Amino acid sequence: MRAPCRALLALAGALVAGPVAAAEPATLIYAGRVFDSAAGQMVGPRLILVQDGRIAEIGSALAVPPGTRRIDLRAYTVLPGLIESHAHLLVDGAEPGPAVGESLRALRGAAHARSYLEAGYTSVRDLGKSGRYADVALKRAIEEGSVPGPRLFVSGPALVSFAPSGDRRAVRDAEDARTAVREHARQGVDLIRIDADGSAEQPALSLEEMQAAVAEAHAARLKVTAFAASDAGIARALEAGVDAVEQGEGASIETLRRMRQESVPLVPLPPYGERLRQARDEGVALAAGSDAGFGTGAPQERGEAARRVLLAWREAGMAPRDALQAATIHGARLLGVPGLGVLDAGAHADIIAVLGDPMANLDALNRVVFVMKAGRLVKAPAP
C-alpha cells in the first residue's frame, strides 16, 4: 500500500471519526419484534443480551449481569445488520477519471463507509474499481477505528484479460492468473473477482486462466466471484469452479438450475427484470447488491441509495421476505462468515432496528432508528 493512501485515510479518520471507543458494557435490548432471518419470519417480543461484541443470549427470559445497560426497542422491529453484497466505495460515477486521484478517493470512501453504517449496513462487500488496493486500506482504517464504517470484505483489482486502467489486473496466461491471485492474497484481500464476459475491445478470460485463478484462490482459502452478464460467461465461470456470480441477467433456465445444483449464489444487479424472479423460482440463493458507486448519488446518500435498490426488489415482484433474507442471511452465507446475518446466541452483535414492520411494508427500512456493530452503538432512538 502506498504511503500517501495511508496518510490520507488517517486524515479521513480525523475528519469523520473520534478516538477509538472504550469497550462497551453488557447491553440488554428489549425488542418489540425480531426478524428470524433463517426462517424468514417475524417473532417476538424478545430480549437480546450483548456481551463482548457478540449476542450472548436471546429469548423471553434472561439472567442479566449487574451493571448491564438497557435499551428499549419495544416500539420497533429488530433485525440483523444489513449486508450489501456488491458495492464500490472508492467510485463516484461511471468510471474514475484521471482528475480523481487517490487523495480524493480516500476521503470520499471514508464518507461512503460512514453513510453505509448509519443506514443500517453493518457489512459491505466491495468489488474493485478501487485503484491499487485502496479498498484494503479503507478496510484496515475501519478495523483500527480511524474511520467509522461497516465490516468491509474487499476484492482488490478485478482480474481481466485486458486492463485499460489501474483499477483492473490484466492476466496474460494461466500462470499469470496464479501470480495475480498470490499478489492479491499478500495485500490482504478477502476474495477474488474475475470478469468472465468479453467484448469487442476486451476478449474474455480463457477457461484455463479462470480455472488457474480459482485453484490458486482456493488454496489460499479465498472465494472467487465472477462478474458475468451473458449465459456463456456464467457457464464458463461455473465450469471454472467459481463460488458466486455477480449480475447474471443473461442466465438461461438451464444455467440457473445448474447454479442451484452446485449451490452457487447469485448477486443480481439493477435494473431488475424477469431473471430475478426466475432465479428465485429455480431455487438459486440470492444476495442483495446495489452496485452502488455508479451514479447512485452524493457521498452522504450512499447507504440510502443501497436501501432504495433493495426496495426495487418489491417493484420486481419479490416478496419482502425475499429482500430481507437477501440482505441478511443470504449475504452472510455468500461471505462465508458464521455469525453474520442472524440474531442467535453466539452471533456477531450487528443489530439494527426500524420503525414499522418491513415484512408488511419494506418502506420500514427507510426508518432506521438504531444501529449496533460488534456490540458498539452507532445510532439510537431519541430519548
CA atoms within 13 A on the CB side of 137: 26
DSSP letter at 73 equals E
CB 89 within 8 A of CB 138: yes
pLDDT, position 98 = 54
Q: Kindly report the backbone phi and psi dihedral angles of residue 376, in degrees, each rounded to the nearest multiple of 5, phi listed first.
A: -105, 135
Cell 448477486 locates to: 267
Bridge partners of residue 70, in order along the sequence = 28
Q: pLDDT for 359-376, tens place per residue? A: 999 999 999 999 999 999
Handedness of CA 302, 304, 306, 312 (dihedral sign): negative
> Each residue of 258-288: pLDDT tens digit?
999 999 999 999 989 899 999 999 999 999 9
Model confidence over 57-86: pLDDT tens digits? 999 999 999 999 999 999 999 999 999 999
Per residue in 80-136, pLDDT (tens digit) is 999 999 999 998 765 545 556 677 888 889 999 999 999 999 999 999 888 889 999
Q: What is the pLDDT of residues 223-265, one digit of tens each?
A: 999 999 999 999 999 999 999 999 999 999 999 999 999 999 9
Question: What is the grid cell recorded at 209?
Answer: 486462466
> Domains of the chain, with CATH numbers?
27-81+342-379 (2.30.40.10), 82-334 (3.20.20.140)
For the cut 50, the answer to whether the pLDDT of residue 316 exceeds it is yes
Return the number of other C-beta atoms located less than 10 Å from residue 252's C-beta.
14
Contact assessment for residue 32 and residue 73, using Cβ atoms and an 8 Å cutoff: yes
Give the whole-angstrom CA distance, residue 126 versus residue 116: 12
